[in-house]
Structure 1
Amino acid sequence: MKKIIPVLLAALACGAASAQMKPDMGKLLATGGVSQVEGAGGGGLTPWALITGYGTRDSWGANAHYTYVDTQDYRLNSYGVAVGIADRLELSFAKQEFKGSLAPLDQLNIRQDIVGLKLKVAGDAVYEQDSWMPQVAIGIMYKKNKGIGGLGALGVTNVKQLGARDDSGYDYYVSATKLLLEQSLLLNGTLRATKANQMGLLGFGGDRNDDVRLEPEISAAYLINRRLALGVEYRHKPHNLGVDNEKAYYDAFLAWFPTRNVSVTLAYANLGDITIFNPKKQKGLYLSLQTGF
């Protein structure tokens, strides 16, 4: 899968050569998706094959996002920027901050940086309505865990001390998105190759497993009207750490697109178990704001 990297870097060079293009906001409303919690364009939990922004093949678009997730015992903040070039290449950067709110992890603070690249390789979700072929994209995310704060009294400052093998790693994925305009329906399937624990917030690999796993992710959204979408997502994840009974993520969301410049996503999210220290399913509010062009 590391062969994907040179392909994406070559596409990045082509995008840089097209820097003189101007934004045209020419794509249909909502067809750039919202900002996924790791920064990519898609749903809240999983990337889609759609390229972020409203720039067409002769243009480019960009956005910034802020996402807040609040469960019984934890809070996650994510913010970042993304650029879509020629409706083919996407570059994204996101920062995540994960905090605890209940003892013994009430002082917990974990930060992570994520750099992403996505390349559309086949199909077109909007213009190929008479074909069964979905839009297909390949992507890579480089994740760097910045360490653990708030647990110094326990002697824990790095994810490796919890059993993780590494504090940085790559996720590779392929996404297929089919937009059925006549039925007002969007379907997406993503297959991710990963060693990340809780998206990388608890490191990569672990004492239970250190192999790359292929994990499925699915999304479905119904377009109530041009500005409202109702949907669900499911994201399967590996279970690498003995101290973390990691489970799948899933959510039910409502996304609102009042204009091409703004979107708001509200969801009920279930993040499953997160560490054995607070052993219960973590579920609660997901709220994301995106602004761009």
Structure 2
Amino acid sequence: MIIDIPATTTGAVNKKLVEVRETGGAVTLGRVLTLVVSTDDDDNAEAVIDAANEASREHPCRVIVVTRGGRVGDSRLDAQIRVGGDAGASEVVVLRLYGELADHSDSVVVPFLLPDTPVVAWWPDTPPAIPARDPLGQLAIRRITDATGTADPAATIRSRLQAYTAGDTDLAWARATPWRALLTSAVDQPPHESLVSATVSGLSAEPAVDLIAGWLASRIDGPVRRRGGELRIDLQRESGTITLSRPQTGKTATLSRTGAPDALVSLARRETRDCLAEELRRLDPDEIYHAALAGLERVIWE
């Protein structure tokens, strides 16, 4: 069920939420968090809401989507409430801000935060320079950005270290999770030798590949190189090489190890909803992500 409430107030929207809850059976019981989504791209809002809805099936929550319809003209709040099949396992409140109100999104959001539940903020497109200092970021204990969709993904992900505050993360990090898991598993196999160097290649505008390089640099004493080209990771040990490669648009990767037969592994690109669900599983600081950001400074860019 979708209910549009044009030219309204936060009080009127909250009243409507209570009414919907009482008449339609929608409840907030079991909601484990409040997810606040901030986007300036109204055209992409539906895709963002769909991703949040899918993630909410694993993490029941209230989703508050804030979009800015323009800062010119009179202040106005247009709201929309989604419950039931249109809201996954959550209830969605869409807030479109116009005029001067667009600069005070935190004040508009506060009345809709669920009491006694943690708040997570997500910027699916252009993130603030320092998420923890953003008005919405100050409400949250976990702040999720996505460098992949920015104008310069490589520069954006490298800038995350200076802006880092405990609780920050990026969806590019979650996109790299299956790769990190496969590489860790391969290294744990005999002959149990330390890695002496690594080479990571892939699209130059793919921050997930950058983060893999930074992660390796934080764990290897030897050089780690980042190159453009095919999607491929080579880990060098004294006795041989471990290679994990996949076609750019493929779903199956090849794991090669010196002295062992090649293995084919499923490694499709992860959907945004899956990455978001992973990030919502932990609300504590991600120290390994922070180490990967710091490791980017040790990477040799070729």
| TM-score over 0.5 (shorter chain) | no
- TM-score normalized by the length of structure 2: 0.27
- TM-score normalized by the length of structure 1: 0.28
Q: Which has the larger radius of gyration?
A: 2
1 or 2, which has the higher helix percentage?
Answer: 2
